[in-house]
DNA sequence: CTGCTATATAGCAATTTAGCTAAATATCGC
DNA sequence: GCGATATTTAGCTAAATTGCTATATAGCAG
């Protein structure tokens, strides 16, 4: 999953956010950045190669759109880590609960 | 949010996944990789500075744990983009539904 | 085919990164 | 304090990345 690498750059994250709202052509995207056109074009290429975005040609312009599926893959990896993290936390909570109940059951306190 | 940059590296993602399951000391983490200890140590540093992990010292070892909060921030950014994406898709669906109803109401077809 | 617009690629310089080995730091047992 | 263990920092090199400008490609208007 090379998408993580693509998302490491703030310019590319902005592009992703722009395209999450709606599709846009390369020129509109480039216009939003204080950066030479070719530089933005390269960012688009990285995003394309990561599978996070795709485009269709329309006359002379290329209309970019987000590829939800790839974005979802990244999302799910993140979610999986969080789930593991929280599951562990829950187990700890349950464990402490059991300890507490046992203590109370022992007539201690 | 520098955490995205930290997550760009596959070794660091593996470390995150390891720590999502449970906390571990630096040596255990390093042992899992076919890489010199100092190299792993540097990855740990990057993760630390990104706020994704933290550690506590215990005797001579440093016990690392995931910082769920930072992970959650990344997760939420991802989720926000997906939500935007899907919301737009829903609007399109609703729009098409309205079109279809209108057509049927027109007695066309 | 020519010129115009939209976009991408080539090639370059500066910066960053990931790996390595060697050395420093810190804790523990004596 | 000394030696052993655990871990990090320093300093290096090779490779990758980012930005730039100049050039190439592709469709459209005439």
From chain A, the residues in CB contact with B8 under 8 A are 4-5, 7-8
> Does the pLDDT value for residue A107 go beyond 60?
no
Q: Are B70 and A77 spatial neighbours (Cβ–Cβ below 8 Å)?
A: no
Give pLDDT, residue B87: 84
pLDDT tier at A87, thresholds 50, 70, 90? confident
Q: What is the mean pLDDT of chain B?
A: 90
- Bridge partner residues of B90 (DSSP): none
Mean pLDDT in residue range A66-92: 91
> Does the pLDDT value for residue B23 go beyond 70?
yes
Q: Are A89 and A80 spatial neighbours (Cβ–Cβ below 8 Å)?
A: no
> Does the pLDDT value for residue B109 go beyond 50?
no
pLDDT tier at B13, thresholds 50, 70, 90? very high
Give pLDDT, residue B45: 97
From chain B, the residues in CB contact with A81 under 8 A are 16-17, 20, 66, 71
Pairing mode, if any, of strands A61-66 and B24-25? unpaired
Give pLDDT, residue A36: 96
Tokens of A93: 């909570």
* 8 Å CB contact of B81 and A88: no
Query: With the C-alpha atoms ordered A43, B15, B17, B76, is the resulting torsion angle positive or negative?
Result: negative
The helix/strand/coil state of B52 is coil
DSSP structural state of residue B36: -
* Torsions phi, psi for B37 (to 5 deg): -50, -50
Q: Are B44 and B15 spatial neighbours (Cβ–Cβ below 8 Å)?
A: yes
Give pLDDT, residue A94: 67
Q: Are B3 and B66 spatial neighbours (Cβ–Cβ below 8 Å)?
A: no
CA dihedral A17, A72, A43, A25 (to 10 degrees): -60
Give pLDDT, residue B98: 72
Q: Euclidean distance between the first and final Cα of chain A, in Å?
A: 54
User: How many residues are there in chain B?
Assistant: 109
Mean pLDDT in residue range A66-93: 90
Identity of the residue in A8, A75, A80 whose CB atom sits nearest the CB atom of B4: A8
For chain A, give the percent of residues with pLDDT over 70.
82
Q: Which stretches of chain A are assigned E, i.e. beta strand?
A: 24-25, 53-58, 61-66
From chain A, the residues in CB contact with B17 under 8 A are 81, 84
d(CA B37, CA B55): 17
pLDDT tier at A95, thresholds 50, 70, 90? low
- Computed over its alpha carbons, how large is the radius of gyration of chain B? 23
- Bridge partner residues of A53 (DSSP): A66
Which is higher by pLDDT, A88 or A5?
A: A5
| pLDDT tens-digit map of A51-63 | 999 999 998 999 9
| pLDDT tens-digit map of A13-51 | 999 999 999 999 999 999 999 999 999 999 999 999 999
DSSP structural state of residue A67: -
- Using an 8 Å CB-CB cutoff, list residues of chain B that contact chain A: 4-5, 7-8, 13, 16-17, 20-22, 66, 68, 71-72, 74-75, 77-82, 84-86, 88-89
Q: What is the mean pLDDT of chain A?
A: 90
């Amino acid at each position: 999953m090379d998408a993580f690498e693509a998302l490491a750059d703030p310019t590319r994250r902005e592009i992703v956010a722009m395209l999450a709202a709606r599709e846009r052509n390369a020129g509109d995207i480039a216009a939003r950045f204080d950066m030479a056109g070719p530089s933005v074009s390269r960012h688009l290429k990285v995003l394309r190669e990561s599978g996070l975005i795709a485009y269709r040609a329309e006359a002379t312009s290329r209309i970019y759109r987000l590829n939800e599926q790839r974005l979802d893959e990244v999302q799910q990896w993140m979610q999986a880590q969080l789930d593991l993290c929280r599951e562990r936390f829950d187990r700890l909570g349950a464990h402490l609960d059991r300890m507490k109940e046992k203590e109370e059951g022992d007539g201690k306190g």
